[in-house]
């Protein structure tokens, strides 16, 4: 079959002239398992156009999709991109009502029925689809239409539903099991439609899936069933070698939720990376409570250039409520240890939780700017579907979500005040980051 996998357009095409050249790892994983038996193309709209906002842009995208003559279109979603994906399904359904449209990815996993209700797609395959998508395609190859297929994880519109009718959603017989990672092929980085992507677009990889923590604002825990599954290290290192030789990536970005979760495994990974010469610089993300000086020594020797820490808040009460208690002394210590080893310490912060006041925002400012981080990133809290906070505060997903600005105010502050405080905080973060870059650039000259 000719399968077209599409990443739902993101924010990056919002008429800013900025494109996001990034291969989505989920679609690359699926392309790898499908490629032996099917013709698979990857369409990444964010890399093609600079404005995907209006209906006309989505119409043009739908024409681009149909020009590939797909027999099935699969759209990968997060909640942030669902609003745009809905528009794309409508444009596709208007042009090719018989073309099977399948939703998948994070948003289709945490909200499959809602996603089907709100879009023109025929089915949503929830969960990690490395095994279920090939199984679904086998059913389609046997002449079973998408609306009649039956498979763990597959939510579908009842046959007979169509434009103008209220969709009846048929749930799956059961949830899909998590695939065993040791039997999966390496992600497929070929087959991207459009102009060649820069090598840096291919630099992402993961050594694991899932997260065993349960921070209330994050969907990662539920997505992975609260467990972490690790890929065999030889497989990870084979992928690193392929990235180096075939894709000539300038650096690596480990996208594990918590890269250093297991200490022995991190040491083994670092040893494997250090044995490759020259070591490729790499970035990873982790938690303050999953790092120590010796581990940092090994990571530095292995080429670690930057570690991004999910600190999230400087407010002790917010830390308690989101399930990530704040240890301010540990935050400072870890930033210092990291910096001392030549690794740039970066950190993520979120403000705007529903209970937050001006004092909480001020506390976050103090910890973010006063702990010795090289770069700090600020987001406005938007309770995510799939997270515990998202259950309490449902979001309107009609449009794209942009976590970099307060699209909605959940705090106790009046809207205008929250907007003004967030803007001021974002400006302080930006000034901090700029000062750090200037400090680094001045370093050789200044001694």
Min CB(79)–ligand B12 separation in Å? 3
Mapping DSSP to helix (H, G, I), strand (E, B) and coil, where does residue 373 land? coil
Mapping DSSP to helix (H, G, I), strand (E, B) and coil, where does residue 74 land? strand
Q: Tell me the window of 196-204, 207-215, 272-280, 410-418 that interacts with ligand SF4 (CB under 6 A).
A: 207-215
Min CB(41)–ligand B12 separation in Å? 13
Q: Tell me the window of 23-31, 238-246, 306-314, 411-419 that interacts with ligand B12 (CB under 6 A).
A: 23-31
Q: Which of residues 197-226 bind ligand B12 (CB under 6 A)?
A: 204, 206, 209-211, 218-220, 223-224
The residue within the footprint of ligand B12, chosen from 384, 389, 397, 425 (CB under 6 A), is 384
Burial (CB < 10 A; 0-12, 13-18, 19+), residue 437, is: exposed
Contact yes or no for 344/375 (Cβ under 8 A): yes
Contact yes or no for 307/350 (Cβ under 8 A): no
Q: What angle do CA 241, 242, 248 make, to 5 degrees?
A: 95
What x-and-dash track marks residues 290-319 binding ligand SF4 by CB under 6 A?
Answer: --------------------x---------
> What's the count of helices (H) and strands (E) in the chain, helices before strands?
15, 15
- The residue of the chain with the least Cβ separation from ligand B12 equals 104
Closer CB to ligand B12, 29 or 351, in the complex: 29
User: 249 is in the binding site of which of ligand B12, ligand SF4, none (Cβ under 5 to 8 A by kind)?
Assistant: none
Q: Tell me the window of 22-30, 49-57, 109-117, 216-224 that interacts with ligand SF4 (CB under 6 A).
A: 216-224
Closer CB to ligand SF4, 127 or 386, in the complex: 386
Of 128, 149, 126, 127, which is closest to residue 137 (Cα–Cα)?
149
Give the integer Cα–Cα distance in Å for 127 and 132: 9
Give the phi and the psi of residue 116 in degrees, each rounded to 5: -70, -40
Q: Which of residues 233-262 bind ligand SF4 (CB under 6 A)?
A: 257-258
Our finding on whether 324 is near ligand B12 (CB under 6 A) is: no
Closer CB to ligand SF4, 13 or 24, in the complex: 24
The residue within the footprint of ligand SF4, chosen from 220, 346, 368, 425 (CB under 6 A), is 220
Our finding on whether 133 is near ligand B12 (CB under 6 A) is: yes
User: 383 is in the binding site of which of ligand B12, ligand SF4, none (Cβ under 5 to 8 A by kind)?
Assistant: none
Min CB(439)–ligand B12 separation in Å? 26
Contact yes or no for 199/246 (Cβ under 8 A): no
Q: Which helix (H) or strand (E) holds 169?
A: strand 169-170
Burial (CB < 10 A; 0-12, 13-18, 19+), residue 305, is: middle
The per-residue b/e assignment along 357-381, b for 16 or more CB within 10 angstroms, e otherwise, is: eeebbebbbebbbebbbbbbbbbbb
Our finding on whether 287 is near ligand SF4 (CB under 6 A) is: yes
Q: Which residues contact 177 (CB under 8 A, 6 or more apart)?
A: 131, 152
The residue within the footprint of ligand B12, chosen from 336, 403, 407, 436 (CB under 6 A), is 403
Give the integer Cα–Cα distance in Å for 181 and 187: 11
Render 234-259 in DSSP notation, one character per residue: HHHHHHHHHHHHTS--SSEEE--TTT
Min CB(219)–ligand SF4 separation in Å? 8
User: 107 is in the binding site of which of ligand SF4, ligand B12, none (Cβ under 5 to 8 A by kind)?
Assistant: ligand B12
Q: Which helix (H) or strand (E) holds 444?
A: helix 415-446
The residue within the footprint of ligand B12, chosen from 129, 170, 236, 311 (CB under 6 A), is 129
Q: Which residues contact 419 (CB under 8 A, 6 or more apart)?
A: 406, 409
The residue within the footprint of ligand SF4, chosen from 11, 77, 101, 221 (CB under 6 A), is 221
Our finding on whether 346 is near ligand SF4 (CB under 6 A) is: no
Give the phi and the psi of residue 273 in degrees, each rounded to 5: -70, -40
Min CB(257)–ligand SF4 separation in Å? 4
The residue within the footprint of ligand SF4, chosen from 5, 29, 65, 218 (CB under 6 A), is 218
* Interface ranges with ligand SF4 (CB under 6 A): 211, 213-215, 218, 220-221, 257-258, 287, 310
* Interface ranges with ligand B12 (CB under 6 A): 5, 10, 22-27, 29-30, 74-76, 78-81, 102, 104-107, 109-110, 125, 128-130, 133, 204, 206, 209-211, 218-220, 223-224, 255, 257, 379, 384-387, 403
């Amino acid at each position: 079959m000719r399968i077209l996998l599409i990443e739902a357009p993101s924010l990056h095409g919002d008429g800013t002239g900025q494109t996001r050249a990034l291969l989505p790892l989920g679609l690359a994983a699926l392309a790898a398992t499908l490629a032996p038996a099917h013709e698979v193309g990857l369409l990444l709209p964010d890399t093609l156009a600079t404005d995907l906002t209006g209906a006309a842009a989505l119409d043009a995208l739908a024409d681009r999709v149909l020009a590939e003559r797909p027999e099935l279109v699969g759209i990968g979603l997060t909640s942030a991109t669902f609003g745009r994906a809905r528009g794309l399904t409508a444009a596709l359904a208007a042009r090719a009502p018989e073309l099977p449209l399948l939703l998948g990815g994070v948003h289709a996993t945490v909200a499959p029925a809602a996603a089907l209700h709100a879009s023109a797609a025929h089915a949503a395959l929830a969960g990690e689809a490395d095994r279920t998508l090939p199984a679904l395609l086998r059913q389609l190859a046997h002449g079973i239409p998408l609306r009649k297929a039956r498979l763990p994880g597959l939510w579908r519109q009842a046959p007979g539903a169509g434009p103008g009718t209220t969709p009846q959603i048929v749930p799956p017989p059961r949830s899909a099991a998590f695939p065993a990672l040791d039997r999966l092929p390496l992600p497929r980085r070929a087959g991207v439609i459009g102009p060649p992507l820069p090598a840096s677009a291919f630099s992402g990889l993961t050594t694991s899936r899932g997260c065993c923590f349960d921070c209330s604002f994050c969907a990662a825990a539920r997505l992975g069933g609260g467990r972490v599954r690790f890929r065999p290290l030889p497989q990870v290192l084979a992928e690193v070698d392929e990235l180096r030789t075939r894709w000539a990536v300038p650096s690596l970005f480990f996208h594990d939720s918590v890269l250093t979760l297991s200490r022995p495994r991190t040491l083994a990974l670092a040893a494997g990376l250090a044995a490759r010469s020259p070591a490729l610089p790499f970035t990873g993300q982790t938690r303050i409570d999953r790092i120590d000086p010796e581990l940092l020594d090994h990571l530095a020797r292995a080429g670690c250039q930057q570690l991004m820490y999910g600190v999230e808040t400087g407010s002790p009460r917010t830390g308690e409520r989101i399930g990530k208690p704040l240890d301010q002394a540990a935050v400072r210590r870890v930033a210092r240890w990291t910096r001392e080893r030549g690794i740039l310490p970066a950190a993520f912060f979120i403000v705007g939780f529903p209970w937050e006041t001006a004092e909480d925002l001020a506390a976050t400012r103090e910890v973010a700017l006063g702990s010795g981080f090289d770069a700090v990133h600020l987001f406005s809290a938007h309770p995510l579907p799939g997270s515990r906070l998202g259950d309490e505060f449902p979001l309107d997903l009609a449009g794209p979500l942009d976590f970099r600005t307060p699209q909605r105010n959940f705090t106790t502050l009046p809207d205008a005040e929250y907007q003004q405080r967030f803007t001021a905080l974002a400006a302080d973060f930006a000034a901090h980051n700029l000062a750090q870059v200037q400090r680094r650039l001045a370093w050789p000259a200044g001694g």
